[in-house]
Structure formats: C-alpha cells, structure tokens
Amino acid sequence: MVTEIALGLQACVQLGRLRDEGRAAPEAVSMLKRNSCAKALAVARAARDLLGANGVCDEFQVVRHMLNLEAVSTYEGTHDIHALILGRAITGIAAFAPDTAGTPRGQRGDTAGTAGDTKGTAGDKAPAPQG
C-alpha cells in the first residue's frame, strides 16, 4: 500500500512540474487521474481487509474513505471516462459526442426550436372547419 501511494504521489509531482513548464499532454492528466483513482480504491479496500472486522468500524475511518471512493467511482465513472479519453488519444477515434452544452440553439446542428422545426407550432395545425 505504501509503495502504491508513494508512486502515485511522485507521479502527481512530476506531472505538476511538467504542467508548470507547459510540457504535459492532456492525456497524461487523464492517465494519472485514472490510475490514481483506481489505486486509491484498491488501497482503501486492502486497508479494510487488513483491519478485519475493525475495517468496517467508524473508529478506524477506513470504511468511510472506501465508501467515499466507491461513491465517486459510481456516480462519476472516472475510470471509464478517462479510458475513453485515452482511447481517443491512442486511436484518434472519439467514443463520445463533442460537448454542445454552451453552444447556442441553432448552431448545434439540430433544428429543435428553430425556424426549420415546425413540430408543435402553428405550422402543423389542422385547417379550421369550413362552415
């Protein structure tokens, strides 16, 4: 456990230095985050196992850290997201759509709510009955 923690810390220090110098690739950040999150969870699980029944007691705090890491892994999907980023860097093929969250409507490539979309507007009303 101590070895994995030390290796992770050294990798973070080295990547921080590279970023300060403007020489760090964005993919290196994803690689380190993916690896660090996986190792943190593995270390927390090993610590829980090492303590036996005490590993799940509040007194030793191990289970709190492990559950926090499990929760983050579950709702963020950190490992999977960084795997997609790394896959794109290695293959050049994106496995996910580009972000359009901040793009104004009509510039996204969709026509919802623009002049090209008549669904649900006056353009698709039935003609008034002739009487």
> Which is catalytic among the residues 4, 59, 70, 76?
76
* Beta-carbon contacts of residue 60 (< 8 Å; ≥ 6 apart): 51, 54
* b/e sequence 85-99, b meaning 16+ C-beta within 10 Å: beeeeeeeeeeeeee
How many angstroms separate the CA atoms of 47 and 56, rounded?
Answer: 10
Q: Amino acid identity of 86?
A: L
* In contact, 30 and 86? CB cutoff 8 Å: yes
Residue 48 contacts residue 56 (beta carbons within 8 Å): yes
Q: How far is CA 15 from the centre of its chain?
A: 19
Give yes or no: 76 in active site.
Answer: yes
- Catalytic annotation, residues: 76
